[in-house]
Amino acid sequence: MELTDTFGRTINYLRLSVTDRCNMRCVYCMPADGIPLLTHDDILSYEELLLVAKTAVASGIEKIRVTGGEPLVRKGIVPFLTRLAAIPGLRQLVLTTNGLYLDEMAESIRQAGVQRLNISLDSLRPETFAGITRGADLHRVLAGIDAAERAGFPLKINVVVMRGVNDGELLDFAAMTLDRSLTVRFIEYMPAIRADNWAELVMPGDAILDRIGSRFRFSPLERDASAGPARTFRIDGAAGTIGVITPVSGHFCDECNRIRVTSSGRARSCLFSDTGFDLKPLLAAGDEAGLATALRAIVARKPGRHALAEQDHTPFAMSAIGG
């Protein structure tokens, strides 16, 4: 079975949020005073999340990315990942994390069946990192990355580039790929929470590449389907790769293949869509047929492109959606 939207795009990727809670407070992800947290009853149970996942895979989804908030803060996450990995027909199970718990959990996550990790890391300088995350410990994240490498994970490091904040570290991040077989992906700052100065923070992808090119020679790589929206390059002689994701300066909506379900059970066709479909009544009733119909309806409503460029979406906290 295949899910195809009205623009002819094959939708085979689900981003599944398991919690809205996070042990960081990144400046681009949530307001300074935080967000109202969902109650225990508001969050989907693991059984409900599994039902979403099984129905999605039966409908044509091949890849699931587990997100949060920070997914590793939810109690019982490893047994859940084990059950998720066992779904017949699921080809890829990946997880996005901020890395704070990886030092102690990387091996168990690997054994559970997670195939790849994306780790958010916006600075290699402790003070800058603490400023962006509002107090997190860089050394714990770096230890977590080391543990993930030891566990055998293919790693992608996600860097949200903010002009005047961490753009002075682009060369340092690029140099990480010289002798480590990981991918560092530079992501344009997205104004999800609509900070007043958001436009000043955006560093376009081409400017990022120009900065890296001032020191390193690199060549484009043939696009891999698993690379998602990234344009990928390799510095001459490097063990790893670099990538650039440009949601602001060059949207990639024509190739978008994803839908998402929040931890509260709301299905969305686009990160920047203000509409969605509440799956909780269907989940409470155990209505698999209705759930499959709802997922197809979400795919059918998928817009041709996001509204970010027009700046007419409602501000939101990324942690509440599973960006």
Predicted pLDDT at 213? 98
Predicted pLDDT at 313? 47
pTM: 0.91
> How far, in Å, are 71, 246, 313, 323 from residue 187 at the CA level?
21, 6, 20, 12
C-alpha triplet 141, 147, 151: angle, nearest 5°: 145
Which string of DSSP letters, residue by residue, matches 227-284?
GTT-EEEEETT-SSEEEEE-TTTS--GGG--EEEE-TTSEEESSTT-S--EE-HHHHH
Which string of DSSP letters, residue by residue, matches 101-161?
THHHHHHHHHHHT--EEEEE---SSHHHHHHHHTS--HHHHHHHHHHHHHTT--EEEEEEE
Classify residue 16 as exposed, middle or buried by CB count within 10 Å of its CB (0-12, 13-18, 19+): buried
Predicted pLDDT at 64? 98
Predicted pLDDT at 305? 65
CA 23, CA 226: separation in Å to the nearest integer?
A: 28
Q: DSSP 3-state assignment of 183?
A: strand
Residues 150 and 144: beta-carbon distance below 8 Å: no
Of 93, 59, 63, 77, whose CA–CA distance to 18 is shortest?
77
Residue where the block lists tokens 């992608």: 156
Which CATH number applies to 13-320: 3.30.420.270, 3.40.50.460, 3.40.50.11540, 3.20.20.70?
3.20.20.70
Predicted pLDDT at 36? 80
In the predicted model, residues of the chain with pLDDT beneath 70 are: 191-196, 224-228, 250-252, 272-275, 304-323
C-alpha triplet 29, 30, 35: angle, nearest 5°: 145
Task: Mention every residue, 6+ apart, whose C-beta is less than 8 A from residue 213.
Answer: none
Q: DSSP 3-state assignment of 219?
A: strand
Domain map (residue ranges) of the chain: 13-320
Of 76, 60, 68, whose CA–CA distance to 11 is shortest?
60
Predicted pLDDT at 35? 75
CA 244, CA 205: separation in Å to the nearest integer?
A: 6
**pLDDT digits 0-9 by tens, 60-111:** 999 999 999 999 999 999 999 999 999 999 999 999 999 999 999 999 999 9
Query: How many other CB atoms are found less than 10 A from the CB of residue 310?
Result: 9
> How far, in Å, are 32, 76, 126, 244, 295 from residue 240 at the CA level?
35, 33, 24, 14, 36
Residues 6 and 300: beta-carbon distance below 8 Å: yes
> How far, in Å, are 183, 195, 312 from residue 257 at the CA level?
21, 28, 23
Predicted pLDDT at 38? 86
